[in-house]
Chain A
Amino acid sequence: MKRLALALLCCVALDAMAQDHSHHMMPMPMPAPTTGEQPKTPIPALTDADRAAAKPPMADHPEHDNAIQSFVQFNRLEGFDGGLEWQGQAWIGTDTDKLWLRSEGERIDERTEAADLEVLYGKPIARWWDLVAGVRHDFKPGASQDWAAIGVTGTTPYKIELEATAYIGASGRTAARIEAEYEALLTNRLILQPLVELNLNGKDDPARHVGAGLSTAEAGLRLRYEVTRQFAPYIGVVYERAFGDTADLRHDASDTRVVAGFRIWF
């Protein structure tokens, strides 16, 4: 049926070939439409030249829509009285598949007190959420240990950046880490960043001064100035508190520190 209609169109076109229809875009009166199926301006009949010109090219269209991109950010790189702390992340990959690296740690009096590195595969699973899964290696505190990690990272309503990860380690050890961060714009360059980090553990681990349950909570408030988007120095105050058994295992259950540092990415 379609073929028939097409044949009909071609006939009409051939018929009209003699007429000059090269400037049908010009302001001139158009004939009234004939029947519903026939175009007012005839469809040109196809020639072998048209068919030759319409052959698909040999090469594929070069695509950039799934190109590999990368990102490295030290969200926190800060000093405080007697110590240094870092928290950073990096990804490399496409829109759908990314390799993530995350690390955080603390040095006090030139000794590394805590340091970990996560290597994760990340995949978008919902509008605002990526699933991440992989491994975490703790260099400190205590003897090094490894965990399997699974979690989500994304943005909640009201634009709170959230990272929640669960860990399973050797001999049935479990842990979880939740970090939430918000950006309050005092101006478009002066930004107040509240942050909360919670650490939970399944079991007591006295060697690492960790007890079961909610072990530590950290609340930070940092005021940064974006000199450029990539480089933003900040000052802040951080309050850390240990709970339950963890508090019993430590000499100081809480700690308040003034920090200064910068955020950098590239």
Chain B
Amino acid sequence: MTLRTPNGGPAQPARRRFVQGLAAGGAVAGLGLWPRASYALQGAGLPSVLSGTQFDLSIGETPMNFTGRTRTAITVNGSLPAPLLRWREGTTVDLRVSNALPMHSVHGHETSIHWHGILLPANMDGVPGISFDGIHRGETYAYRFDVKQSGTYWYHSHSAYQEQVGLYGPLIIDPIEPAPFAFDRDYVVMLTDWTDLDPAALFARLKKMPGYDNYYKRTLGDFMRDARRDGLAETIEDRKLWGAMRMTPTDLADVNANTYTYLLNGTTSLGNWTGLFRSGEKVRLRFINGASMTYFDVRIPGLKMTVVAADGQYVHPVTVDEFRIATAETFDVIVEPSGQDAFTIFAQDMGRTGYVSGTLAVREGLRAPVPAVEARQILSMADMGHGAAAHDMAGMDMAGMDHAAMGHAAMGHAMPAAQHHPASESHNPFVDMQAASPTPKLDDPGIGLRDNGRTVLTYSMLRSVFDDPDGRDPGRDIELHLTGHMERFTWGFNGQKFSQAEPLRFNYGERLRIVLVNDTMMTHPIHLHGMWSDLEDADGNFHVRKHTIDMPPGSRRSYRVRADALGGWAYHCHLLFHMEAGMMREVRVDE
């Protein structure tokens, strides 16, 4: 078993990592160690679970140590992740959130909490400048709203980079009616990414050198290996294609394990968060991706996972070996561990630069083998929405050509019509590529997960247990293109940043369709506040109700929105630094 280090070389689990593991408790000594088996929803007296209808949450700074170095995290009631909040559907919750950030905090004097995926009045949504004025130092904001839904959600800061420094927590809402599936135990598995850097410095670094973390670019050695395998001519053509685009096929994520330490329920792999089970029990695992910039691929070797809910909403059960969870998504799965005393919950990042693991075990202190991080993948032209494998395009002279003008559609067989692009994208120095023939890709598990011998969840497998709750045909379509520039690290919709664009206007009560086209080479999890996103298939049939829609490169996906929430709502990519760089809009729903 080889473990890959961030630098790419095979390595032993290094001593440095071991030391990290010892430090993996979270809150530094003197403030109490993180309780290992916390976050079980059943089991009494767990300090990090708050339930009921009245909550006092205090946002402040807490020293944390995940890497051997102590850093200041932004925490709720001193804990990272923030306390698990447990509400009941049909109740009214009161949450008094106070800002106890110290003077001169590097993370600002203002804070906020956004209840991700929750339907509520606009002024309860917690986005400074869009739905309220933020919570200033010394102030307390009273959130109060009716809980109209159930399921697995999360909450996080919507102020500057506070989410990156720890202000996130799980949110579980118990349903009025029992769940349509049985389970004996219930655990939250919250996956996040931690950095010792000040996130403002990380953002600045992305602006200076966006490829800083990419230590996997194609080298001379790769060239020679490819030339031996594919032939020299083909290899040169491949490099020409990428060279003409001035892009890198290894560019899967902007920030990876070279910078991040991945956490599971607030502890590193060596902290080994453990969920207990008795053989034969059904265990419900509520996976939440609360990371700032990371997609995780999750599996539990030796166990099948039955996905029963996505983004808090029940789906027809589907049994898989593995799933990719986009940033901000949640998936509930049922597992039935037996035959072994311990199973590893293994979450590797999409770019295969690192992982975090935890354990399901019959008692504390056990571990099962941890799989190696898999081989890194490189993007193909098909991944990029160019509709054809690289070698099909090899004869084309790509140099200097405008991708928008490329007649890929003319290249024949079963390819969709050429994608049109908004005028604001043309001659726009902040749009570095445009997808020529994007497709929904709903049955594509995504890069690195195809044909890996495992059954991997795709969006097409996710089907809500209910029909389209609105039933109307959308009255209009709004097409938005996800755009950006890799080297300038600018992001937006239709080539425009948040600060340059007017709000999107929805009419109260209308049913509309949002069509997203990903014109970039990155994946983007797109999140609409306040309203559901009802994902459709390629034929416009309702598929699954979600709050965050993953948009892989080269994809075109559509979903229906019912504008039944008056006011101003954030609509954005949930990769924190994409949002901060401009991939965000305000949606205004007016009468």
Contacts and interface: CB of A to CB of B under 8 A. Distances in A.
Contacts, number: 202
B183 to A, nearest CB: 16
Interface stretch (A40-48, A165-173, A206-214, A243-251): A40-48
Interface string B182-214: 000000000000000000000110011100100
B465 interface: yes
Give the interface SS of chain B, mostly helix, strand, loop or mixed.
loop
Given A71-B208, A125-B429, A33 B487 contact: no
Interface stretch (A59-67, A107-115, A140-148): A59-67
Nearest to B586: A61
A127 B431 contact: yes
Contact of A124 (B160, B429, B545): B429
Interface string A24-44: 111110100110111111011
Interface stretch (B339-347, B518-526, B564-572): B564-572
B566 A129 contact: no
A159 B498 contact: no
Nearest to B219: A185
Contacts of B497: 65-66, 95
B148 interface: yes
Interface size class of A (residues with CB under 8 A): 35 or more
Interface in B422-453: 427-432
A211 to B, nearest CB: 34
A108 B429 CA distance: 42
A40 B470 contact: yes
B134 interface: yes
B215 A188 contact: yes
Interface residues of B, number: 89
A44 B133 contact: no
B128 A229 contact: no
B131 A126 contact: no
Contacts of B567: 53-56
A58 B175 CA distance: 36
A187 B221 contact: yes
B562 A39 contact: yes
Contacts of B314: 25-27
Contact of A58 (B133, B216, B469): B133
Contacts of B90: 22-23
Nearest to A71: B208
Interface in B379-398: 398
Interface string B394-410: 00001110000000000
Nearest to A185: B219
A174 B174 CA distance: 76
28 contacts: A23-B89, A23-B90, A26-B177, A26-B466, A27-B466, A30-B471, A33-B471, A43-B562, A43-B564, A46-B508, A49-B121, A54-B121, A54-B589, A57-B128, A57-B131, A57-B132, A57-B133, A61-B498, A63-B498, A66-B582, A124-B488, A157-B399, A158-B240, A159-B243, A185-B219, A186-B221, A188-B215, A188-B217
Interface of B: 8, 89-90, 110, 121-124, 127-134, 148-151, 159-160, 175-177, 180, 203-204, 207-209, 212, 215-221, 240, 243-244, 246, 313-314, 398-400, 427-432, 465-473, 485, 487-488, 490-492, 497-499, 507-509, 511, 545, 562, 564, 566-568, 580-582, 584, 586, 589, 591
**Which 6 A-B residue pairs are closest in the complex by CB-CB distance?**
A61-B129, A54-B567, A65-B582, A124-B429, A53-B121, A158-B243
